[in-house]
Chain A
Amino acid sequence: MACIQLREYSGQRGIAAFWPFDGQGLSDESNQLRDGATRAFIHYHIPMTRETLAQKFRALADAWQEETAHLSSPTKIAMHPAYQQIIGMGLPVIPLILQDMSKEPKQWFWALTSITGINPVVPNEQGRIRKMAAAWLRWGTEESYI
């Protein structure tokens, strides 16, 4: 039986995660419990009324990256609760996503397409992460997001 315990709280980033982070070896019910506990912890420690958009984005993005960096399924990556919260932040979060992607190409494509309803990547560059990131950064510049 898996044990859920609180990982060391990181005051710098204002985020916490619950062990085990990847959910391997846990039942679906345990994973749901873990995700719910993580969301409750995040909600308690990062209430919207006290966090700026940038701070909230950074905390969620770090949690998402930490827990999905090893995954190969874009669907699983995009379905992570923190990623879904970022999508829910809507258009105001676009500059933050693009800024993050300009430092290092990450799997922000699903979120960008979901929020904006467009995809500026040409077909022969589908899946080529660095070229996809470049296409979105060009789009962001043209649309004055960055």
Chain B
Amino acid sequence: MPLTRLFPNLGVSDYQVTSPPSADYNCIAWAALEDDRWWWPDLNRIFYWPEDGPREETLDGFVKTFELYGYESCTSTEIEVGFEKVAI
């Protein structure tokens, strides 16, 4: 399915495809700098999730997990020099 159909707002922005689709990882894994496995806090333990991270599909759970990797909550969504940000 064309990207612009999946994400209509792409049509009004300047974008370029930087890599082909991959089934090897998902967005959370990518945000955690991994591109060879799926991360997800499912209770069935089908997917990878850090041992110390809460296995719960909540915003708080995702935030706590990323805090394990040195991230901390911030109030600004703007790009800031010297900081790497993830949007959850």
Contact = CB atoms under 8 A, between A and B. Distances in A.
Interface stretch (B34-42, B64-72, B73-81): B34-42
Contacts of A75: 40, 42, 57
Interface stretch (A20-28, A36-44, A89-97): A20-28
B14 interface: no
A104 B21 CA distance: 14
The number of chain B residues touching the other chain, given as a range, is 20 to 34
Contacts of B36: 128
B6 A127 contact: no
A127 B39 contact: yes
B23 A106 contact: yes
Contact of A69 (B1, B29, B42): B1
Contact of A24 (B8, B21, B23): B8
Interface of A: 20-22, 24-25, 66, 69-70, 72-75, 104-106, 109-110, 113, 119, 121, 123, 126-130, 132
12 contacts: A25-B8, A69-B21, A74-B26, A74-B38, A74-B40, A74-B46, A75-B57, A119-B46, A126-B45, A126-B46, A128-B48, A129-B24
Given A126-B46, A127-B47, 11 more contacts: A70-B1, A72-B26, A75-B40, A113-B46, A126-B47, A126-B49, A127-B37, A128-B36, A128-B48, A129-B38, A132-B46
